[in-house]
Amino acid sequence: MSEDVAKIVRLQRRVMWRRRLLSLQDQLAAAGATGAIITAILVVLIRLRAPQTAVWALVLGVLGLSSMAALIRWFFSRAHERDAAFLIDEALGLEDRVATAHLIIERGGPRGALEEALIEDTAERAGNQPASSVIPLRMRQWHALAPLSVIALVAALMITPRALPVTESSAAERADIDNAADHLERTAAEVEQLVPDGSETGRLANEQAELGRGLRRPTVTRA
């Protein structure tokens, strides 16, 4: 491999890897933003409707699936050396010189003086250019959606689960207790009317009435 060919191939590979890294960054940022928003919405719904449900498995599952999907998309759409050649031509204004040189190198090298001249001219124009002049690595503005989405998810996780409403069974139990309290108070009042004041039976009836009123207090307190 000649020095001119080595320069072109080296630049192509550097640009290719920078393009792959930038693409991976985009995919992960999109996956993080989308996954965090979806998870935050699901967490809020669960907190409001099924507060006893564990949400950490949901968080890990959704974020894991979105990250895996991002990696799969990146793998199948990753850049190759041919893509890098077109990117170099476009960034440096070389009018398909690098793309043509890539085809010549890919088939085994230049054949004839014209192709050798093309390789030499391309290496002279692009061989010493840094890959950063073709693919600068920088954050895009929409990448800010990822941390904002994570903040929204954290806020959703901090929501206190809604208290469970009184079920029909607990309401029925409360009604039975109230009925028992009514019965105790009513029978105690009837006994107190029949026995003389200060008797042992009257004292027991009074304690029975106090017990009935004590059973009612939890209901009054909750109300």
CA-to-CA separations, 107 to 97, 140, 141, 159, 221, in angstroms, rounded: 16, 37, 41, 62, 88
CA-to-CA separations, 166 to 90, 123, 216, in angstroms, rounded: 68, 79, 17
The whole-angstrom distance between residue 149's C-alpha and the CA centroid of its chain comes to: 8
pLDDT above 70 for 166: no
Task: Determine the 3-state secondary structure of 38 from DSSP.
Answer: helix
pLDDT category at 160 given cuts 50, 70, 90 is confident
Mean pLDDT of all residues in 62-67:
90
Output 57 or 193, whichever has higher pLDDT. Answer: 57
Asked if 12 and 89 touch (Cβ cutoff 8 Å), the reply is no
CA nearest neighbour of 42 among 70, 34, 145, 146: 34
CA-to-CA separations, 9 to 53, 55, 108, 109, 132, in angstroms, rounded: 56, 50, 13, 12, 16
| pLDDT tens string 170-216 | 666 666 667 666 766 676 676 666 656 666 556 666 666 676 666 66
pLDDT given at position 21: 94
pLDDT above 90 for 126: no
Longest dimension (CA), the chain: 133
pLDDT above 60 for 101: yes
pLDDT category at 25 given cuts 50, 70, 90 is very high
Here the contacts of 24-28 (C-beta below 8 Å, separation 24 or greater) are 24/74, 25/137, 25/139, 25/143, 26/140, 26/143, 27/70, 27/71, 27/73, 27/74, 28/67, 28/70, 28/146
Q: What is the pTM of this model?
A: 0.64
pLDDT category at 49 given cuts 50, 70, 90 is confident
Count of CB atoms situated within 10 Å of the CB of 7: 18
Integer Cα distance of 166 and 146 in angstroms: 40
% of the chain exceeding 90 in pLDDT: 20
Q: Which residue in the block uniquely carries the two structure tokens 């107190």? A: 192
Mean pLDDT of all residues in 40-44:
86
pLDDT category at 29 given cuts 50, 70, 90 is very high
pLDDT category at 220 given cuts 50, 70, 90 is very low
Integer Cα distance of 201 and 78 in angstroms: 93
